Amino acid sequence: MLDKGAVGAESSWAGGGILSPLCPWDYPEQVTRLTELGRKRYADSMGELYESSGIDPEFETGGMLVLPPFDLHVAMKWCETHQVECVEQHGGLFLPEVAHVRNPRLVQALRKRVEMLGGRILEGCEALGFEVRSGKISRLMASGGALQADQYIVTAGAWSKQVLGEYALNLEIKPIRGQMLLFKFDAPPIKHILLQDGMYLIPRRDGHLLVGSTLEDVGFDKQVTEEAKLSLWQHAQILLPALRDMRPVRHWSGLRPGSPGNVPVMCRHPHLENLYINSGHFRYGVTMAPASADIMLNLLEGWQQPFDISEYRLI
């Protein structure tokens, strides 16, 4: 595994770790079928990951309360159709099955598990281009020297188009900046995720509270802004008035791999038979990760897929 920087230090680290679309009824089936499969895989695997790695990813099923404005009738109909539990509560809709993880701890646990299984991780190693012969990649040119493998997967998030270069074809992935705030309480100030109009509050076990997130089309600019800080803080105070007397302990940003409709590309490259793409998961890369990994493994091994994956092809 190659990473230009530190492994898992970009959007995988920066996100909030909500294991669900914010309002799943607003997304196409191509998105929700992946997030639902991902949610189930998390529920089944986090205990094992903790036990094997010794690092607790802090998987919590505390639920999420979605507050107006949203179409309650559409939301409840979607939940009924998809057999998702929901309860009207406080003028909003409570989804008790929604879970979340603590991203930095999840990344640490996964890294340790990969290394325990014999995986090799090369950090500070930038992919520079492919050497192609007879419709196949023969070598990957990298800053640390040329590398060879039977199969290659580009899963470079917001940078995937740049890594693919002339082989990106019509891939529509671009960076979308998201800024987050972190507050610290003595104990968790809320028991579940609060969501209103695209902004969320996520409680952590140790009293930390995440507030996010912006959606900014500003290219590869990761700078944080006072404007975003103030906007997030002011909106958060409406949901949790205790924040008026506090200041953020941290403010950061990450670059999501933005894609049309939030639908990722997961497929074999149409022109290079040993190249695969797994990118463009936009806001839900962590949520979709276990499902995406299953799909890629099935592609590599020629195994049956859990559903039709033709809608995730690069055409």
Q: Report pLDDT for 315.
A: 74
pLDDT digits (tens, 9 = 90+) for 177-203: 999 999 999 999 999 999 999 999 999
Percent of the chain with pLDDT strictly greater than 70: 100
Strands (E), the chain: 2-3, 64-67, 87-89, 92-95, 122-123, 127-133, 136-142, 145-147, 152-154, 174-184, 193-196, 199-203, 208-212, 250-258, 265-268, 275-279
88 domain residue, yes or no: yes
Range of the domain at 93: 72-97
83 domain residue, yes or no: yes
pLDDT digits (tens, 9 = 90+) for 34-92: 999 999 999 999 999 999 999 999 999 999 999 999 999 999 999 999 999 999 998 89
235 domain residue, yes or no: no
58 domain residue, yes or no: no
Element of type H or E holding 13: helix 11-14
Q: Report pLDDT for 22.
A: 95
What pTM does this model have? 0.94
89 domain residue, yes or no: yes
Residue 29 has pLDDT above 80, yes or no: yes
Q: Report pLDDT for 188.
A: 96
Q: How many structural domains does the chain have?
A: 1
Residue 204 has pLDDT above 90, yes or no: yes
81 domain residue, yes or no: yes
Percent of the chain with pLDDT strictly greater than 90: 98
pLDDT band at 97 (very low <50, low <70, confident <90, very high): very high
